[in-house]
Amino acid sequence: QVQVVESGGGLVQPGGSLRLSCAASGFTLDTYTITWFRQAPGKEREGVSCMRRRDGYTYSTYSVKGRFTISRDTAKNTVSLQMNSLKPEDTGVYYCAATRTSPIMSSWSNPDLYDVWGQGTQVTVSS
């Protein structure tokens, strides 16, 4: 069965770091575009960072540029999100999502493109 599972969330202080992992099963990960989404209380779900299938082109939302890095480990069939210099506004439930498409421009952050979703992992940044 095709699925993805997130791990690595937790509680950290502002300025701290977390590394999230998305493990894929039932498919070869690099044939899918993988995107991390997050949803804060009372807010809409937003795309955080994306790695496009095959060519590995990356996208990210402006607020995380220079702080978050997405990477792919084909041997382990995982995609990770390294989050540094965390801010309280980064708090939310983070989801890994996958699509067989190769999005361009802003389409990467459209949740409707994704047909495989993980269960989510909570990230809380607070002092």
Q: In what order do the strands lie in the sheet with 18-25?
A: 3-7, 18-25, 78-83, 68-73
Q: Tens digits of per-residue pLDDT, 40-73?
A: 989 999 999 999 999 999 999 999 999 999 999 9
- Residue 106 banded pLDDT, cuts 50, 70, 90: confident
CA distance 96 to 16: 21
pLDDT at residue number 88: 97
Nearest alpha-carbon partner for 93 in 37, 47, 51:
37
> Residue 80: exposed, middle, or buried by beta-carbon count in 10 A (0-12, 13-18, 19+)?
buried
What pLDDT does 30 receive?
A: 87
Q: How confident is the model at residue 29 (pLDDT cuts 50, 70, 90)?
A: confident
53 vs 38: CA distance, rounded Å:
20
pLDDT at 83: 98
